[in-house]
Amino acid sequence: MTAAFITGAGTGVGKTFIACGLIRHYRRHGRSVSAIKPIVSGFDPAAPSGSDPALLLDALGQECNAVTLERVSPWRFLAPLSPDMAARAESRPIDFQAVSAFCRASMAQAKGTLLIEGIGGIMVPLDARHTVLDLMIAVKAPVVLAGGSYLGALSHILSAQEVILRNGLDLCAIAVSESEGSEVPFDETLVSLGHFAKAPLLALVRQDREGKNTGVFQRLGDLIA
């Protein structure tokens, strides 16, 4: 079994996009793959279509229903807030030990590759004492760091890289997607990051109509393996 934890330098930087791309890559090549996103906020149970868990299930070729949603994302919250705030809004605090145990059990049961998608950025609080970083440390899986190209992304990505490495985690890749509406040149973002990146730097096209990401996901899959 191989596992990877997909985290982000912030919110909306492409974690689910990367996870779904990797899932489809593995499936095209006949490789067994599964995925979980233990915690999700901004999830409307009346309209699950288009949510991150639903996108993961679609990439896996599975129907989105109560059973599969529970298997992929057991901790689902309505408010589009940080996990700790979304949980407080429902008077349903997150049990960090239970989340950690769920991830480890999923790793033990997985055949092939398991992708674990985090929520928000690397330092987003899960409760009053734990962040996504603490979950990554508990899981101890190689890390894929997702980032964008908006103004400020350089600092966010490199700060996240520093936190990951200082905590002894295996940073296997940094995957950067062009941020929609950003006036910062994407190519220049990659050049600047290249001077400081301490893991392979991969560039992803969000609207990939020409299949440019095919080779990127091939390399990312190889790096995880």
Show which residues are catalytic.
Answer: 37
Closest CA to 154 of 196, 114, 122: 196
What DSSP assignment string belongs to 78-109? Answer: SSSS-HHHHHHHTT----HHHHHHHHHHHHHH
Q: How far apart are CA 125 and CA 83, in angstroms?
A: 7
Q: How far apart are CA 182 and CA 185, in angstroms?
A: 8
At 3, phi and psi to the nearest 5? -135, 155
Task: Give the up-direction half-sphere exposure of residue 52: CA atoms within 13 A in the CB hemisphere.
Answer: 31
